[in-house]
Structure 1
Amino acid sequence: MKLFGYFRSSAAYRVRIALNLKGLDYELVPLHLQKNEHLSADYARLNPQQLLPSLEVDGAVLTQSLAIIEYLEEAHPKPALLPKEPVLRAQVRAMAQAIACDIHPINNLRVLRYLVHDMGLSDEKKNQWYRHWVESGLAAVEQMLRQSSHSGDFCFGAAPGLADACLVPQVANGRRFNCDLSGCPTVLRIVDHCNTLDAFRRAAPDQQPDAE
């Protein structure tokens, strides 16, 4: 398998976590987002959206991080990243999507660039935008975790799963942008526990070969 990614991409980060949790080997193909390497014609032939990550496997190219992780779950079901019960599976997916679909997309690099270069926002206003959506989004995740009877060391159950793979990268980015996460003690406790595990540590941005 080849994973096309960038060390700071939180979407690529969550796929790295899933691959590590599954114990799967892969070749990393770095594409530098700041240098627009993902906008090349060669990469566009692999992924018409020209977004990261992409996973090349068995002659096919898979895109969208959640779809990639769902593929990994189906092709390599153990260890499981989703519970067996349909209701719990839906709850895990909902939390993952609250992060990967509601918080992350409006704060990724192409959106931040548009706010500055096309909308004329200052860096201060751009960072204010970023912090608002991350802080309010993770505050909702905090409540989801507090209301769940299945959260503990991890988001759901006694082992890390899909929700944890999404939560850890988002908190890492939030910390990098100095977001105020003091109102999210459950989130921070789970993230800090996840980061004691080898699968999460090896997936961290500063452990990647393209880290700067």
Structure 2
Amino acid sequence: MLKLKLFHNDMSVCAQKVRMVLAYKNLEWESVHLNLRAGDQFKPEFKQVNPKGMVPVLQHNGATITESTAIIEYLDEVFPDPALMPANPLERAIVRNWMIRLDASLHENIAVISFCVAFRHQMLERYADQDALEGFLNNIPDPARASNMREFLLNGLDSPRLRQSLYVYNKLLQDMDHALSHGGWLAGAHLSLADFSLLPYLERLQQLQMAEWWHEYPGIDAWLLRMTETAGYRQGMLDWHNHSYIQLMGQKGQEAWPTVKALIDDL
């Protein structure tokens, strides 16, 4: 068996869920870490790996697999022990529903929240020169992503997209609480890909000082505690925590919370 190679970033939510699955399954892998703020994903050598300029990317047995949901399903099929997909077909469908929801909406909206609240400050400091900022934006292959990034950077908490993203996550928290009240895990009685997929997004909200958001849903805090006790979390997320990013998110999140809470209360 050829070694697994993962192109990833320490604080990328998509990379985090892949690393957790790798850790949970006790798989050895070669790390190729990219600094996304410095634009490593746009360098020619990585664009040959993934023309979209996005992480994570998994290489295994001569194949290159992109998109984090496809990667973790591949890992669970190729390395089935311990299994992270239920045997029951209905529960498998529930797992896939959570992951489809992530790909269709939740991932995009956590980016909106993260950039509007915190990351824009880091980006604007790094690219203080207008030409440098335009150069970074022009390197983004997808014009829609580039346009969205420009809007988040310029408008921050005043971005019209922020309210929409908060609505999406408000509904998620309600649905997670309902699901967890019926089994302890998102897809029933056992830990699954759904749990590892959602965890990075909830931890991101914690890091942005938004945990008060779900104070009426104690099942979510209980689930978070169980997740952080897994080897998958410790090796796939905790060991890769970038404390300068976490400090930035904590500081800017605390400053932004009164404005964000007012937007949530008005939903």
Decide: shared fold, TM above 0.5.
yes
The 5-angstrom pairing of residues 78-117 of structure 1 reads 78-108=81-111, 112=115, 114-115=147-148, 117=150
| 1:188 and 2:188 matched | no
| Corresponding residue SS for 2:74 | helix
Give the share of equivalent positions with the same residue, in percent.
26
Provide the secondary structure at the position in 2 that maps to 1:122.
helix
Secondary structure of the 1:104 match is: helix
Give SS of 1:46's match.
coil
The question of whether the paired residues in 1 share the 8 Å contact of 2:84 and 2:193 is answered with yes
- Note the C-alpha offset of 1:120: 6.6
Query: Once the 2 structures are TM-superposed, how far is the Cα of residue 60 of structure 1 from its aligned partner?
Result: 1.2
User: Are 1:145 and 2:180 counterparts?
Assistant: yes
* TM-score, scaled relative to structure 2: 0.69
Q: Which entry has the higher C-alpha Rg, 1 or 2?
A: 2
Alpha-carbon distance between aligned partners in 2 of 1:42 and 1:29, rounded to the nearest angstrom? 12
User: Which whole-Å deviations, capped at 9, do the CAs of 1:41-87 have from their partners, x for residues lacking one?
Assistant: 11111112211100111111111111001111111111110111211
> Could you tell me which residue of structure 1 aligns to residue 136 of structure 2?
none
Instruction: Assess, with a 3 A threshold, how the Cα gap between structure 1 residues 84 and 120 changes in structure 2: closer, same or farther.
Output: closer
Partner of 1:208: 240
Q: CA RMSD in A?
A: 2.6
Q: Do the aligned partners of residues 122 and 198 (structure 1) sit closer, same or farther apart at CA in structure 2, a change above 3 Å counting?
A: same
TM-score of the superposition, structure 1-length normalised? 0.85
1:20 to 15, 20, 23: 23
**Match of 2:31, SS?**
strand
Task: Summarize the Cα distance change of 1:40–1:71 in structure 2 as closer, same or farther, 3 Å threshold.
Answer: same
Cα distance in 2 for partners of 1:169, 1:181 equals 16
Gaps of 5+ in 1: none
Going from structure 1 to structure 2, the CA distance change for 1:164 and 1:68 (only over 3 Å counts) comes to: same
Distance 1:116 1:178, change over 3 A: farther
1:46 equivalenced with 2:67 (yes/no):
no
In structure 1, what is the equivalent of residue 126 of structure 2?
none
Structure 2: runs of 5+ lacking an equivalent: 121-146, 245-267
Aligned counterpart in structure 2 of residue 198 of structure 1, from 231, 246, 255: 231
Could you tell me how far apart the structure 1 residues matched to 2:103 and 2:223 are?
17
- Work out the number of aligned pairs and report it: 207
Residues in 2 aligned to 1:209 and 1:128: alpha-carbon distance in whole angstroms: 25
Please say if residues 21 and 236 of structure 2, whose CA atoms lie closer than 8 Å, have aligned partners that are also in contact: no
- Partners of 1:98 and 1:137 within 8 A in 2: no
